[in-house]
Structure 1
Amino acid sequence: MGDFRISKIENLVISELSHLVEESKTDGFRFLERLVNDYNEGTNTFSEHGESLYGVYNENNSLIAVGGLNNDPLSNDTQVGRMRRFYVGKEYRRKAIGTLLLRQIIYEAKNYYRVLVLNTDTKQAANFYQAYGFEESEAYPGSTHLLNLGYEK
């Protein structure tokens, strides 16, 4: 595995993400485009208490993966976090980049939330999340999976 670095993104530079946005759109996914739009509009900047946006960078300091953690906007429970906008560039899949990013988000989520939820509509992604302990569940609105973190405020 090459030299990869994971960092919290404090100020998203849209141009750093544009290649991933285009790649994801080609694959039929619009959630990175939504990330950019929401960030630009200020509706979701991953800056509330307990929220974060992470990027994984390669040896050339290019952004190769992104994933975010939000307070779950669909739940009234402040102890529920939602993983959002998780994407790994095609060239870097099956190289443990997704695992690195997922583990960082889970680690961060444990500081703020009791449960981490997500929504996915692909079997491949569902299998990936389930391999790391997520369970299929519709217990929370707009979610397909949850992970009990055990944290209590």
Structure 2
Amino acid sequence: MTVLEIIRLDELPDTISALADLARADDFLAFDRLVLDFENGSNAFDRPGEALFGAFFSGQLIGVGGLNIDPYEPGPGLGRVRRMFIDPAHRGRGIGRALIGAIEAHAAQHFVQLQLFTDSVDAARFYETLGYRPIAGRDKVSHVKQIGHST
């Protein structure tokens, strides 16, 4: 039986390099930045409210997605979805949706709004099906989603 697990990552799994190779082949160069920043400590997804999640299918790492305090607009309650990547061989099977679900569940405890940037038409369509609204005229923000209420 094959099982999908979404797990919060406190460290990068040993198999991260295989997923990085797939990301590079898919022209998703931000994945290398995820690994570099995590390893040098500049973004280990470890500030209050932040998290990095891994998607494992039958024990194999097939995707990652992170949540940061928005580094570009660090206002109160703003989180940023970052470094989302799913192994192309596993796309279209609900894995990205499950990963975003885990990110949003965690984010709802810490943030009011999530922001992200993508210049990929396919990724934009994916986020829009999950309720992210396209937004124009803001630097480094292509989509936003309200996830909580300000207190």
The two structures have a TM-score, normalised by structure 2, of: 0.94
- The alpha carbon displacement at 1:138 in A equals 3.7
Q: CA–CA distance in 1 between the matches of 2:35 and 2:74?
A: 25
Structure 2: which amino acid aligns with 1:45?
Answer: A
Partner of 2:147: 149
Structure 1 unaligned spans of 5+: none
Q: Which amino acid aligns with 1:6?
A: I
Deviation at 1:151, TM superposition (A): 2.7
Name the CA distance, whole Å, in 2 between partners of 1:139 and 1:54. Answer: 30
Q: Is the 8 A contact 1:80 1:113 kept in 2?
A: yes
Which residue of the partner structure matches residue 81 of structure 1?
Answer: 79
RMSD between aligned alpha carbons? Answer: 1.4
Residue number among 64, 69, 81 corresponding to 1:71 in the alignment: 69
Q: 1:90 and 1:76 mapped to 2: Cα distance?
A: 32
SS at match of 2:12: coil
Identity within the alignment, %:
32
How many matched pairs?
151
Q: CA deviation at 1:123?
A: 0.5
User: Do 1:110 and 1:151's aligned partners in 2 also have CA atoms closer than 8 Å?
Assistant: no
Task: Give the 3-state SS of the residue equivalent to 2:20 in structure 1.
Answer: helix
Q: 1:140 to 1:152 in 2, by over 3 A?
A: farther
CA distance in 2, matches of 1:92, 1:28: 17
Structure 2 spans left out of the alignment, 5+ residues: none
CA distance in 1, matches of 2:9, 2:48: 15
Contact (CA 8 Å) 1:137, 1:144: kept in 2 or not?
A: yes
Aligned equivalents of 2:111, 2:127: Cα separation in 1:
18
1:35–1:85 CA contact under 8 A, matched in 2: yes
Shift of 1:2: 3.1
Deviation at 1:55, TM superposition (A): 0.3
Partner amino acid for 1:23? Answer: L
